[in-house]
Chains A and B, each alone.
Chain A
Amino acid sequence: MSDSSRPPVDSMQTLRKVLGVVGSYTHLLVVSILLAGLSVVLQLYVPILFGDAIDQIVAPGAVSFDALRSILKKIAVLVVVSSAATWVMNIINNRLAFQTVKDIRSRAIRQLQKLPLSYLDAHSSGDIVQRIIADTDQLSDGLLLGFTQLFSGIITIVITLAFMLSKNVGITLMVLVLTPVSFLVARFIATRSYDMFGKQTETRGRQTALVNELIGNQKVVKAFGREAVASRQFAQVNEELQDYSQSAVFFSSLTNPSTRAVNNVIYALVALVGARLILGGSLTVGGLTVLLSYANQYMKPFNDISSVVTELQNALACAARVFELIEAEPEVPEAQDELFSRGGWIDIEDVSFSYDKEKPLIQGFSFHAKPGMKTAIVGPTGCGKTTFINLLMRFYDVDAGSISVDQQDVRDVTRHSLRKAYGMVLQETWLKNATVRENIAFGRPDATDDMIIQAAREAHSWEFIRRMPQGLDTVITDESLSQGQKQLLCITRVMLCLPPMLILDEATSSIDTRTELQIQEAFDKLMQGRTCFVVAHRLSTIREADQILVMRDGRIVEQGTHDSLLEQGGFYAKLYRSQFAGTETD
């Protein structure tokens, strides 16, 4: 609680931002708070009325039915009003929470499409998904509902105290003084079980890792006849876990009985003191009933509030993460002009670029490609060939120098018009979880089935599409296609658009020869007469290229033709010999 009493400045800011999102629903929030107040007051007042009612039933002949009936009628009305208030409040809270989440998510997805790649590359996709989905939920649950709960909790405590005081000051003070005891007990147990939970979590983590490793590779375990060893290994962790779990489960389940016991003692004390006061004439039986039921109820908001406070802090942290995403700097604004494509001249002039300003990557790089020219990008795995793609497609902007397409600087035209001029097939084959048709027509939603089938034929994908259960209407899932088939679909997708320039990423060894041949043929068909950049793995592609860019550790280290580069005897020559030596000597 002490942490929350002085919230740091930035969490105040976050809170303001959340209220900004709530903005259009402010009236709902206000109504919700009013209703919360109303229902709490009524719910607390009803036991008092019941107490009064009981006071009308003293003994045979001493029952005042008139007074009793009027009290009971009053209760009936209040109970109905209070139930209605709670119901409406619940519905409003739901609406408030779900609409806010919806609004935040919809802002987030818009932001996602506008964020620079540098932001997205620097954050794991799991982390961003977490912000958009889970953190947003937490934000609405914790912050909005937490707020109403906190509010009604405080009202409950204040009013309970007021009502109790109105019945009897002494007993109220006694309850006030004794209440913290149950907190102390709960705190004491919590710290004990926290230790055990830590050990349980740690051991369970090890066990899960072991299960993932061994069961995940069960075939290897069997291939080496290691079943018995695996069982022994597992048994060891499993027994360790048993000890910790048993203690953790036990200790954590002590909180409730302990606080209940403390409450029961308080209850007994209230009964004792109350009874003596009744004898002394300063309290009625009805009053005692009220005090007893309050003594029980009084604890609840305290427990609620302490859990709400934790939740609020948690929710604020989540909100901060969500806003960090939503308010991240979007891409530099668009130019207005469309790219006017005239065949695909590409001029890279004196370009410098780096992801991290501390580590310069590309410096003073110049390069020119004529329409129809084929450029191979070569280098060992992990040499940063994607950097090149990033710059051409303007996923990243250059730090200095310029890249122009058909004499237009890429920064002076819209991103869409630039990107439409390129066809891109990456090695990481990304397909939507949608039908084959939707995937192929991704870049051209208006394409007819005939056009789609024609493109599929040319890209050699029609053969397997035809054999799929629902043909073009088959929904693609991650497992339903082989790597090679995915690649063919990605090619088909570009085949349908036929842009003037191409960026291709050749497949590596995971694809079998026949499919690779089909992919190669499809690539060749695509490349005819287009300016192409090929991240090349195949010797024939490299040899046929008009120009070769050799990359190493993210830098472009050499450029030239196959023969001129071999003659240079530099990195390319070395790479060529180590990668393809087998062809010459074997």
Chain B
Amino acid sequence: MRDLLAFLRDYRKESILAPLLKLAESLMDLLVPLVVAAIINQGIAESDEGAIFRFFLLLIVLAILGMAFSFSAQWMAAKASVGFSTKLRQALFDHIQSLSYRELDTLGTDTLITRMTSDINQIQNGLNLGLRLLLRSPFIVFGAMIMAFTIDVPSALIFAVAIPALSLVVFGIMLLSIPLFAKVQGALDRLLGMTRENLTGVRVIRAFCKEQQEIEEFDRRNDLLTSMNEHVGRLSALMNPATYLIINVATIFLINQGALRVELGALRQGDVVALYNYMAQIVVELVKLASLIITLNKSLACARRVQEMLDVKPSMEYPTSLPAELPQTDEAVRFDHVTFSYASSGDAVLSDIDFLAQKGQTVGIIGGTGSGKTSVVNLIPRFYDTTTGTVTVDGMDVRNYPAGELISRIGIVPQKAVLFEGSIRDNLRWGNEDASDDELWAALETAQAAEVARGKDGQLDAMIEQGGRNLSGGQRQRLTIARALVKRPEILILDDSASALDFATDLALRRAIANLPGTMTVFIVSQRTSSVREADQILVLDDGELAGIGTHDELMEKCPVYQEIYYSQFPDERPSAARGHAGEEVAR
């Protein structure tokens, strides 16, 4: 938490002044009963009209000063809290940029977004309220008590009893109900989840004739929620009447005591009025303080979560510069007995992967879901570090490349075709900020995406909506391919990125990439044998192991896993397969 306070450093003046000004304002409030007492004691008791008017002016001055103090306090608090959250938000954003894939996996996108948005907003609210009110309420409560003591000690003792009693009731009810409210929220969430489930599954529920059972289950949860609500409701229903009772009973004692003291001549009538007014101020502030503490508590929890996130250190280290001598080699990518596991699960996703891709080669990677295809290609740009074994690119261990250097040589088309809000040009230039329109068009042609841009008003200037909503899956996929090509990478990785394309387009795409000039090395990850069939070599992955490596023809000869995949997709070519009964015939 201490680290977060560092973001408040630029607003040190504001964050000290805001509470102080607020105190000054409450001091004005605290003086009012004294002035009224003076009006009664001096003005009325001594029939001094001049005094009454002077005290009246004093009240007006107090009102104006109070407002002025308060305005400045609000300004300081707004400036400090908003400034703080702005800096914190930027720092967190920058920090996320520095994390590697491993940390991103562990933290999870949803968590990151919640921290960036609602958590920081909550901290800002808490800070703003805290700066203004955290000192004010206790100050008024204790200030009122101290003022009471300055007026008359025996009468003020009643305050010393009433305040702890009130605090006990207010904070006790709050503390008891907070966990109950959390439970109620949980029950409500479950009811909400069930309602949503009923809507998304309406066809299945009706197909299985389960309407009545769903109603019964809903009723059960609904009853549970209602009884929980009533339970916590009974508790908070006590708050108002209990505080009201305590404060008024205290006032009864106060007046009684006051009467005795006046009779003794130790106190005057105006003083009794002042004591009475102080008593009234206390209860309002205690209730405010209690709800403030709840808000602050929430904000502190958010602050802790943000702090935890800032404490996550990037797990990868990079050398600062390229070694003086770079190896001269024809090797593009080499995996040397690579074993790999994601941080989250201890099991190895890749074990003992060993292969070499020469510059200019096309490498196909095929295998079932979870066989480790994507993991293999994720190791090439060093998105993750291997557990054991090494990955080399251009003859050098990937760990010896400075930050950003390796990425600049590799073009990646991820599985999920993600585009960003902005023009087609903006999106394509992710690959290369300086690319000319001609280069962009060339990339679009190769990616079979030129027609996508041509079909839009404004061509390259056509706007893509957030997440690429205004494009079809196939169009998005082709644009992401073009984006990677704009980079003119040495290594191009297509991670199952033709799945939404039909066979003809997929074929045209692969041919166009093959015909590009230069010695680009291409990795094609796919579920379809037709997509990798023409590759120079195909890696067949099965449960994280290399089940076979070779050309299509070689694998058809000797690799049963590859054969199984192939025949499942082309049942007609299965030797001796009876036409039309593919499913039953496949040996498992």
A residues lining the B interface (CB < 8 Å): 43, 46, 50, 53-54, 56-61, 63, 65, 68-69, 72, 75-76, 79-80, 82-84, 86-87, 90-91, 94-95, 98-99, 101-102, 105-106, 109-110, 112-114, 117, 120, 125, 128-129, 132-133, 207-209, 211-228, 230-231, 234-235, 238-239, 241-242, 245-247, 249-250, 253-254, 257-258, 260-261, 264-265, 267-269, 271-272, 275-276, 278-279, 285, 288-289, 292-293, 389, 393, 395, 415-416, 419-420, 422, 424, 426, 430, 432-433, 442-443, 445, 482, 484, 493, 497, 509-518, 520-521, 523-524, 540, 543-544, 578-583, 586
> Are A113 and B214 in contact, CB atoms less than 8 angstroms apart?
yes
- Set of chain B residues within 8 Å of A69, measured between Cβ atoms: 256
> Are A235 and B262 in contact, CB atoms less than 8 angstroms apart?
no
List 14 other contacts, CB 8 Å, given A395-B203, A482-B369. Answer: A57-B255, A60-B265, A87-B240, A102-B225, A212-B466, A216-B113, A234-B93, A245-B86, A257-B66, A271-B56, A395-B206, A512-B367, A512-B527, A581-B502
- Set of chain A residues within 8 Å of B218, measured between Cβ atoms: 105-106, 109
Q: In whole Å, how far is A405's beta carbon from the nearest beta carbon of chain B?
A: 14
Q: List 13 A-B contacts (CB under 8 A).
A: A63-B262, A72-B252, A82-B241, A105-B191, A105-B218, A230-B93, A238-B90, A242-B86, A249-B81, A288-B40, A442-B208, A517-B588, A583-B572
Q: In whole Å, how far is A298's beta carbon from the nearest beta carbon of chain B?
A: 14
A253-B78, A279-B47, A524-B584 are known contacts. Are A63 and B259 too (CB-CB below 8 A)?
yes
Our pick among B49, B55, B194, B199 for the contact of A120 (Cβ within 8 Å) is: B199
> Are B202 and A120 in contact, CB atoms less than 8 angstroms apart?
yes
> Are B252 and A59 in contact, CB atoms less than 8 angstroms apart?
no
> Are B238 and A87 in contact, CB atoms less than 8 angstroms apart?
yes
> Are A424 and B207 in contact, CB atoms less than 8 angstroms apart?
yes
A90-B240, A430-B200, A582-B530 are known contacts. Are A238 and B86 too (CB-CB below 8 A)?
yes
Q: How far is the CA of A46 from the CA of B251 in the complex (A)?
A: 11
> Are A420 and B209 in contact, CB atoms less than 8 angstroms apart?
yes
Residue of B nearest to A247 (CB): B78
Q: In whole Å, how far is A580's beta carbon from the nearest beta carbon of chain B?
A: 7
Q: How far is the CA of A99 from the CA of B412 in the complex (A)?
A: 57
- Set of chain A residues within 8 Å of B564, measured between Cβ atoms: 513-514
> Are A278 and B44 in contact, CB atoms less than 8 angstroms apart?
yes
Residue of A nearest to B52 (CB): A275
- Set of chain A residues within 8 Å of B294, measured between Cβ atoms: none
- Set of chain B residues within 8 Å of A265, measured between Cβ atoms: 60, 63
Q: How far is the CA of A90 from the CA of B230 in the complex (A)?
A: 11
> Are B407 and A523 in contact, CB atoms less than 8 angstroms apart?
no
Q: In whole Å, how far is A460's beta carbon from the nearest beta carbon of chain B?
A: 9
> Are A517 and B583 in contact, CB atoms less than 8 angstroms apart?
yes
> Are B203 and A426 in contact, CB atoms less than 8 angstroms apart?
yes
- Set of chain B residues within 8 Å of A56, measured between Cβ atoms: 259
- Set of chain A residues within 8 Å of B233, measured between Cβ atoms: 90-91, 94-95, 98
- Set of chain A residues within 8 Å of B588, measured between Cβ atoms: 517-518, 521
> Are A268 and B59 in contact, CB atoms less than 8 angstroms apart?
yes
- Set of chain B residues within 8 Å of A86, measured between Cβ atoms: 240-241, 244
Our pick among A53, A221, A419 for the contact of B97 (Cβ within 8 Å) is: A221
- Range class of the B interface residue count: 35 or more
Our pick among A53, A110, A442 for the contact of B210 (Cβ within 8 Å) is: A442
Shortest Cβ-Cβ A-B pairs, 9 listed: A582-B503, A90-B237, A268-B59, A512-B369, A94-B233, A264-B63, A257-B70, A113-B211, A125-B199
- Set of chain B residues within 8 Å of A247, measured between Cβ atoms: 78
Residue of B nearest to A245 (CB): B82
- Set of chain B residues within 8 Å of A99, measured between Cβ atoms: 226
Q: In whole Å, how far is B499's beta carbon from the nearest beta carbon of chain A?
A: 5
A59-B269, A102-B222 are known contacts. Are A524 and B583 too (CB-CB below 8 A)?
yes
Our pick among A50, A61, A230, A493 for the contact of B276 (Cβ within 8 Å) is: A50
Binding site secondary structure of chain B: helix
Q: In whole Å, how far is A127's beta carbon from the nearest beta carbon of chain B?
A: 10
Residue of A nearest to B63 (CB): A264
Q: In whole Å, how far is A288's beta carbon from the nearest beta carbon of chain B?
A: 8
Q: How far is the CA of A361 from the CA of B570 in the complex (A)?
A: 36
> Are B269 and A272 in contact, CB atoms less than 8 angstroms apart?
no
> Are B504 and A57 in contact, CB atoms less than 8 angstroms apart?
no
- Set of chain A residues within 8 Å of B202, measured between Cβ atoms: 112, 117, 120
Within residues 188 to 204 of chain B, which ones have a CB less than 8 A from any CB in chain A? 188, 191-204
Q: In whole Å, how far is B141's beta carbon from the nearest beta carbon of chain A?
A: 18
Q: How far is the CA of A28 from the CA of B109 in the complex (A)?
A: 49
Q: In whole Å, how far is A420's beta carbon from the nearest beta carbon of chain B?
A: 6
| B264 touches A (CB below 8 Å) | yes
- Set of chain A residues within 8 Å of B100, measured between Cβ atoms: 222
Q: Give the interface centre of B128, B193, B199 by most chain A CB atoms within 10 Å.
A: B199
Q: How far is the CA of A430 from the CA of B205 in the complex (A)?
A: 9
> Are A218 and B269 in contact, CB atoms less than 8 angstroms apart?
no
Q: In whole Å, how far is A95's beta carbon from the nearest beta carbon of chain B?
A: 6
Q: In whole Å, how far is A286's beta carbon from the nearest beta carbon of chain B?
A: 9
- Set of chain A residues within 8 Å of B412, measured between Cβ atoms: 223-224
| B112 touches A (CB below 8 Å) | yes
Q: In whole Å, how far is B114's beta carbon from the nearest beta carbon of chain A?
A: 10
- Set of chain B residues within 8 Å of A242, measured between Cβ atoms: 82-83, 86
> Are A231 and B67 in contact, CB atoms less than 8 angstroms apart?
no
Q: In whole Å, how far is B495's beta carbon from the nearest beta carbon of chain A?
A: 10
- Set of chain B residues within 8 Å of A511, measured between Cβ atoms: 369
> Are A246 and B82 in contact, CB atoms less than 8 angstroms apart?
yes
Q: In whole Å, how far is B115's beta carbon from the nearest beta carbon of chain A?
A: 9
> Are B226 and A102 in contact, CB atoms less than 8 angstroms apart?
yes
> Are A249 and B82 in contact, CB atoms less than 8 angstroms apart?
yes
Q: How far is the CA of A291 from the CA of B89 in the complex (A)?
A: 50
Interface-lining segment among B174-182, B340-348, B413-421: B413-421
Our pick among B209, B370, B466 for the contact of A512 (Cβ within 8 Å) is: B370
- Set of chain A residues within 8 Å of B557, measured between Cβ atoms: none
> Are B52 and A57 in contact, CB atoms less than 8 angstroms apart?
no
- Set of chain A residues within 8 Å of B19, measured between Cβ atoms: none
> Are A105 and B222 in contact, CB atoms less than 8 angstroms apart?
yes
> Are A213 and B420 in contact, CB atoms less than 8 angstroms apart?
yes
Q: In whole Å, how far is A410's beta carbon from the nearest beta carbon of chain B?
A: 14
> Are B580 and A133 in contact, CB atoms less than 8 angstroms apart?
no
> Are A223 and B381 in contact, CB atoms less than 8 angstroms apart?
yes
> Are A57 and B59 in contact, CB atoms less than 8 angstroms apart?
no
> Are B78 and A125 in contact, CB atoms less than 8 angstroms apart?
no
- Set of chain A residues within 8 Å of B234, measured between Cβ atoms: 91, 94
- Set of chain A residues within 8 Å of B39, measured between Cβ atoms: 271, 275
| B75 touches A (CB below 8 Å) | yes
Q: How far is the CA of A276 from the CA of B55 in the complex (A)?
A: 12
Q: How far is the CA of A509 from the CA of B503 in the complex (A)?
A: 13
A120-B199, A275-B52, A520-B582 are known contacts. Are A515 and B74 too (CB-CB below 8 A)?
no
- Set of chain B residues within 8 Å of A211, measured between Cβ atoms: 93, 113, 116-117
| B219 touches A (CB below 8 Å) | yes
Q: In whole Å, how far is B13's beta carbon from the nearest beta carbon of chain A?
A: 15
Within residues 72 to 104 of chain B, which ones have a CB less than 8 A from any CB in chain A? 74-75, 77-79, 81-83, 85-86, 89-90, 93-94, 96-101, 104
Our pick among A57, A219, A224, A424 for the contact of B203 (Cβ within 8 Å) is: A424
Our pick among B59, B116, B507 for the contact of A267 (Cβ within 8 Å) is: B59
Residue of B nearest to A266 (CB): B63
| B273 touches A (CB below 8 Å) | yes
A56-B259, A249-B81, A582-B506 are known contacts. Are A516 and B568 too (CB-CB below 8 A)?
yes
| B168 touches A (CB below 8 Å) | no
Our pick among B25, B203, B214, B569 for the contact of A513 (Cβ within 8 Å) is: B569
> Are A129 and B82 in contact, CB atoms less than 8 angstroms apart?
no
> Are B414 and A419 in contact, CB atoms less than 8 angstroms apart?
no
> Are B89 and A238 in contact, CB atoms less than 8 angstroms apart?
yes
Within residues 344 to 403 of chain B, which ones have a CB less than 8 A from any CB in chain A? 367-371, 381, 383
- Set of chain B residues within 8 Å of A264, measured between Cβ atoms: 32, 59, 62-63, 66
Q: In whole Å, how far is A440's beta carbon from the nearest beta carbon of chain B?
A: 11
- Set of chain A residues within 8 Å of B78, measured between Cβ atoms: 246-247, 249-250, 253
> Are B369 and A208 in contact, CB atoms less than 8 angstroms apart?
no
- Set of chain B residues within 8 Å of A133, measured between Cβ atoms: 188, 191-192, 195
Q: How far is the CA of A497 from the CA of B62 in the complex (A)?
A: 81
